[in-house]
Amino acid sequence: MADHPADRELFHARLRPHRSLSPRSFRRLMVFFGGASFLVGLPFLLLGAWPIFGFMGLDALLLYWAFRANFRDAQAYEDVRLTPLELQLAKVSARGVRAEWRFAPAFVRLEQDIHAEFGLQRLSLVSRGRRVDVASFLGAEEKERFADAFSRALAEARQGPRFT
């Protein structure tokens, strides 16, 4: 038995923050930076200026901590699912806290805040006085691609389910 036309998924996207550094590259960076800090700090240690050596190690530790926090934040995501009768948006934080919104596609519009120099800066779903930002962690070009695909699907959803 085929799915009901009203339940047909017109659009689905899982949006994740982009991270350009892979875990393998992160390890390489930390080995390089830690080794460089050690080599630069070693002469100071041998001359008796041990606090400088310690601060060099502290720099490496702070860099490690910053990247770990960055990787942890990359676990956040947004799910956008659109059928002819419902738009579902779920935002999941890096800590696993989930927030969900449901809209009727006929009453939703996608607002775009476009800066002349920097491109698309903000996307918001607006319906009956409620405004929810979507794709906030994406870059301008990624937001534009998302907005184009989502707008086409939203226009199709507004036509209602097709029973033929």
pTM of the entire predicted model: 0.73
Residue 21 CB partners (closer than 8 Å, separation 6+)? 29, 67
Instruction: Say what the alpha-carbon torsion angle 78, 142, 68, 95 is, to the nearest 10 degrees.
Output: -10
Token output for 161: 């389910």
Q: State the number of CA atoms in the 13 A half-sphere of 134 facing the CB.
A: 30
Strands 119-127 and 130-134 turn out to be antiparallel
Q: Hey, where are the domains in the chain? A: 23-73, 76-158
Reduced to 3 states (helix: H, G, I; strand: E, B; else coil), residue 56 is helix
pLDDT in tens, 36-91: 999 999 999 999 998 998 898 899 999 999 998 888 888 899 999 999 999 999 99
Q: Is 160 left (phi over 0), alpha (psi -120 to 50) or beta?
A: left
